[in-house]
Structure 1
Amino acid sequence: MLRAAAAGWDATGTYVSASAPTATVHLDIRDPAQVRRVVAEVRPDAIVHAAAGRDRNDWPATADGAAHVAVAAAGIRLVHVSSDAIFSGRLGEYDEDALPDPVYAYGAAKAAAETAVRAIDPGAAVVRTSLIMGDGRGAHEILTHDLIAGRVEGALFTDEIRKPVHVDDLADALLELAGNDHAGVLNVAGADAVSRYELGVLVARRDGLDPAAIPVTSLAALGLSRPADLRLSTAKAEKLLGVRLRGAREFVGGPAV
């Protein structure tokens, strides 16, 4: 919202369970009638749809909700935010032509959301992204702190690879897409492919915590079948967009491990 305003947009934010200072309109995307009503009342020039279910198994919000937004957005520029979770991780690197092959419920819901949006509005921009970092507010940053403090059980994996993106870079990319006519899939992720563990070490060093206190293991050691290598190729975005997509080693800081 703040970055949208700074970029010259008169932005309206929505919320479902609790209002935030920058979100002023209540909207439950599981209710198609409410989605249509809110869109008709706000009459936006563009819609950036970044919502998903709070529960990762919430198909009505993540999948059906995206379809409801796409239907209500007929004739309005739509930018839909998707995820690297739609892939199995078997290929290692994915460009915009890669077909979804999800292996767990959240990935399946996000893949279904993509399919619905692209079928309903072929002119929409579908942005596939990765772990979103936010100067201490990202989910992986919070998890790293909780693991070091012993507030949660678990570990960070050395063989689970992502290309984290800073929330400001992603927001700027979404706003840029809201103002142009790019249609179809675009990968928007950070420049660095790092493991979950390496990312945790970077966060710990930045925040003055002891990286040695991070519980560490690997998917291979535990025999887990969850997606391992989900690198999104960003060559297309680097040519199309004006925003520079920084890598985690730059925006979190600290040497690689």
Structure 2
Amino acid sequence: MRLLIVGGAGFLGGELARQALAAGHTVAATFMTRPGAAPGVAWSPLDVRDREAVAELVGALAPDVVVNAAHRKADWTATADGAAHVALAVAAAGGRLVHVSSDAVFSGEAVTYAEDRVPDPISPYGAAKAAAEVAVRAIVPGAVVVRTSLIVGDGRSGHESFVRALATGRKQGVLFTDDVRCPVHVEDLAAARLVRGRRADMDVPGPLDVRLDCAATQRCLRTRLRGAREFLRRS
């Protein structure tokens, strides 16, 4: 599988690249200022705020899957418009899109939030991430939107570095005792994917498209044969 990680030089992007390479996939990734450290990755500089540059890169690479992990907390254009640019590029080139969002799209008023909860952000960053979700869902309805909380991992995340800096006096600040979140380990988040591919691209014999017309059989039966969409939806 050909995978493109937009924002691959970041904490999550780097772990995604590492695991994808270990699984035998072909990995390309983008960076804003400098490439990541993962060997075997085809690195490309990319500013997601540049719609034409995003479209050109995605079109040239033609990846099977694009993971958008790019964001800049203080930059609406990079976070919101950039996500729309990536979605437009995927819609034009084809392939699957996985968009990494954030729990910042919620205000905290409801305390517990299910996957289908409508965003109600109260911060500029949360508003940008919510706008990004709207754009992605509108442009690529089949995209996967992943809302995650604080990403940590064996002392390597920015959050963990900040806590150590506070503890050693290298930075001034406070840790809020009433700020409740759901941290996730970067390795678990990167691994939380379903492996997929195309039979046509693999040496596995079998028919590609077989659709049974059971109308005659159904007329002879008292039992109604449900389609997969129906019984999966009800389960």
TM-score range relative to shorter protein: 0.7 to 0.9
Q: 1:40: Cα distance to partner?
A: 1.4
The percentage of aligned residue pairs carrying the same residue is 55
Aligned to 2:156, what secondary structure does the other structure show? coil
Aligned to 1:93, what secondary structure does the other structure show? coil
Is contact 1:46–1:178 with CA below 8 Å preserved after alignment?
Answer: no
In 1: Cα distance, 2:70 partner to 2:27 partner: 16
Count of residues in correspondence between the two structures:
176
Output one character per residue of 1:155-213: Cα deviation in whole Å (capped at 9) or x when no partner: 1111111110000111111xx25738xxxxxxxxxxxxxxxxxxxxxxxxxxxxxxxxx
Matched, 1:59 2:72: no
Larger RCO: Structure 1 or Structure 2 (Cα < 8 Å, ≥ 6 residues apart)? 1
Supply the AA of the counterpart residue of 1:40.
G
| Bigger radius of gyration | 2
1:14 to 16, 22, 30: 30
In 1: Cα distance, 2:20 partner to 2:147 partner: 20
Q: How does 1:141-180 map to 2 (within 5 A)?
A: 141-173=160-192, 176-177=193-194, 179=196
Aligned to 1:44, what secondary structure does the other structure show? coil
Residue 86 of structure 1 aligns with which residue? 105
- Assess, with a 3 A threshold, how the Cα gap between structure 1 residues 136 and 148 changes in structure 2: closer, same or farther: same
Output one character per residue of 1:31-61: Cα deviation in whole Å (capped at 9) or x when no partner: 00000111111110000101001xx220110
Q: Which moved more, 1:155-164 or 1:121-130?
A: 155-164
Aligned to 1:141, what secondary structure does the other structure show? helix
Residue 46 of structure 2 aligns with which residue? 27
Residue 146 of structure 2 aligns with which residue? 127
1:69 to 73, 80, 86: 86
Q: TM-score with structure 2 length normalisation?
A: 0.72
Q: 1:25: Cα distance to partner?
A: 0.9
Q: 1:95: Cα distance to partner?
A: 0.4
Query: RMSD of the alignment, in Å?
Result: 1.3
Gaps of at least 5 residues in structure 1 are: 181-257
Give every structure 1 segment of 4 or more consecutive aligned residues whose post-TM-superposition deviation is greater than 4 Å.
none
Is contact 1:77–1:178 with CA below 8 Å preserved after alignment?
Answer: no
Output one character per residue of 1:128-154: Cα deviation in whole Å (capped at 9) or x when no partner: 000000211112210110101112111
Residue 101 of structure 1 aligns with which residue? 120
In 2: Cα distance, 1:160 partner to 1:21 partner: 33
Supply the AA of the counterpart residue of 1:15.
F
In 2: Cα distance, 1:134 partner to 1:12 partner: 23
Is contact 1:79–1:177 with CA below 8 Å preserved after alignment?
Answer: no
In 2: Cα distance, 1:178 partner to 1:125 partner: 14
Aligned to 1:11, what secondary structure does the other structure show? strand
Supply the AA of the counterpart residue of 2:55.
R
Q: 1:2: Cα distance to partner?
A: 1.0
Gaps of at least 5 residues in structure 2 are: 1-16, 198-235
Is contact 1:84–1:129 with CA below 8 Å preserved after alignment?
Answer: yes
Output one character per residue of 1:99-155: Cα deviation in whole Å (capped at 9) or x when no partner: 111111100000000000000011000000000002111122101101011121111
Supply the AA of the counterpart residue of 1:61.
A
Aligned to 1:78, what secondary structure does the other structure show? strand
